[in-house]
A = this chain, B = another copy of it.
Amino acid sequence: MADPETRPTAAALVIGDEVLSGRTREGNAWHLAKTLTEIGIDLREIRVVADDREAIVEAVNALRAQVDHLFTSGGIGPTHDDITADAVAAAFGAPIGVREDARAILEAYYAAGELNEARLRMARIPEGATLILNPVSQAPGFTIGNVHVMAGVPAVFQAMLEGLRPVLKGGAPLLSWAFRVAAPEGELAAPLGALAARHPALSFGSYPFYRGGAGSTLVARGQDRAALEAAAAELRAMLAALGVSDIAETPPG
């Protein structure tokens, strides 16, 4: 794993019965994972829980204590099953109510008479929170402490995350060097394990695939480009010694 002293850490909490029932294939955590890797923040854990107040409160409190940033997705719309804002407020023991700046955003967006009581729930913001603006459909998210509360609709989640970028300071980005080879991982495992043991500052993964025969993608990851280059040269020599010739390399971009 990367050095915790130089890279901030994060967790994701996805909230929604529709994910646990299989109705929806979740994609926000995947988008977040790619974005955080780009920024240089280590995503340590993803959790998915139901639209259940107690489950949300417990997960928020467990995760926010463990990482630098907790990102939540889902449950901040206008309907009765949107309980994330209230649950996050409860997790912090913070009062929550309609906030005037959030109400003003919604008033500017909706036509006269359209801002009904249900929609006004989307202006409920815990005390002490900062708004996360929503350029897609206006109803804001918010940051309280180290918790960033965002929408579940993918386009809105992505836009909110873009809005947060300026406050997300990353460490050195994690570079990866991939070797896709036409050899089963069981034949590479021993020398790969030995190579990994010689490079404790890097991490090495092996991912099998079965398309036109058994193959493996070996991935070396680390923050130090020179160390990664040295490991890639060793990997190349290792594959040559094993007689593996059909290799597709993807060095860091």
Residues of chain B contacted by A1 (CB below 8 angstroms) = 17, 50, 52
Copies of this subunit = 2
Segment of A20-28, A158-166, A232-240 in the binding face: A20-28
Q: Is A196 an interface residue (CB 8 A)?
A: yes
Q: With A and B bound together, what is the CA distance between A19 and B31 in angstroms?
A: 11
Residues of chain B contacted by A78 (CB below 8 angstroms) = 185-186, 189
Q: Are B48 and A46 in contact (CB under 8 A)?
A: yes
Residues of chain B contacted by A197 (CB below 8 angstroms) = 80
Instruction: From known contacts A21-B174, A22-B33, A25-B30, infer whether A206 and B81 are also in contact, taking CB-CB under 8 Å.
Output: yes
| Interface size bracket, A side | 35 or more
Q: Are B190 and A17 in contact (CB under 8 A)?
A: no
Residues of chain B contacted by A208 (CB below 8 angstroms) = 77, 153
Instruction: From known contacts A45-B55, A79-B185, A189-B79, infer whether A30 and B26 are also in contact, taking CB-CB under 8 Å.
Output: yes
Instruction: From known contacts A18-B219, A219-B23, infer whether A185 and B77 are also in contact, taking CB-CB under 8 Å.
Output: yes
Q: Is A69 an interface residue (CB 8 A)?
A: no
Q: With A and B bound together, what is the CA distance between A187 and B78 in angstroms?
A: 9
Q: Is A225 an interface residue (CB 8 A)?
A: no
